[in-house]
Amino acid sequence: MVRIHLSCVTDTEPTPASPVSGLITKRMDADRGRVSGIARIVVGLGWAAIGALNSSRSPEDALYWWLVAGYVAIAIFSVLSGVATLRARAKRITLFDAEYGVDAGRQPPRA
């Protein structure tokens, strides 16, 4: 059975790990979301920069301010979405560490 996750803001719950999966898999599942959160923040800051550049030139028509407002709205949504994703990830890691221990599921680096 295929499950489709339709959350548009954050992934608040990790994918349920298999009952037979090890701690490494569970740690990876709890740690998921870091890159996604950072990417959303960077994209949001990019939209904010585009909006700032567009607002610095003179308005050409009535649609101009709607476009600037759209850039700002997308920027705010993206940054808040990224922050929410990073907070959800931190909460999952805290719960995992409380249940299994701080170093549970970590792989030692290869020499």
- Contact in structure between 32 and 16 (CB atoms under 8 Å): no
Two structure tokens written together for 61: 């028509």
* Residue 71 amino acid letter: Y
pLDDT of 83 reads: 95
Residue-wise pLDDT tens digits, 4-52:
444 544 444 555 655 546 888 888 888 888 888 999 999 999 999 988 8
Query: What is the pTM assigned to this prediction?
Result: 0.68
Residue-wise pLDDT tens digits, 81-96:
999 999 999 998 899 8
pLDDT of 5 reads: 46
- Contact in structure between 40 and 19 (CB atoms under 8 Å): no
pLDDT of 39 reads: 93
Q: Is the pLDDT of residue 69 over 90?
A: no
Q: What is the mean pLDDT of residues 46-72?
A: 80
Helix (H, G, I), strand (E, B) or coil at 104: coil
Q: How confident is the model at residue 3 (pLDDT cuts 50, 70, 90)?
A: low
The count of C-alpha atoms lying within 13 angstroms of the C-alpha of 25, restricted to the half-sphere facing its C-beta, is 8
**Rounded distance between C-alpha atoms, residue 79 and residue 84, angstroms:** 9
DSSP readout, 38-89?
A: HHHHHHHHHHHHHHHHHHHSPP-STHHHHHHHHHHHHHHHHHHHHHHHHHHH
Q: Which residue did the predictor score with more confidence, 3 or 54?
A: 54
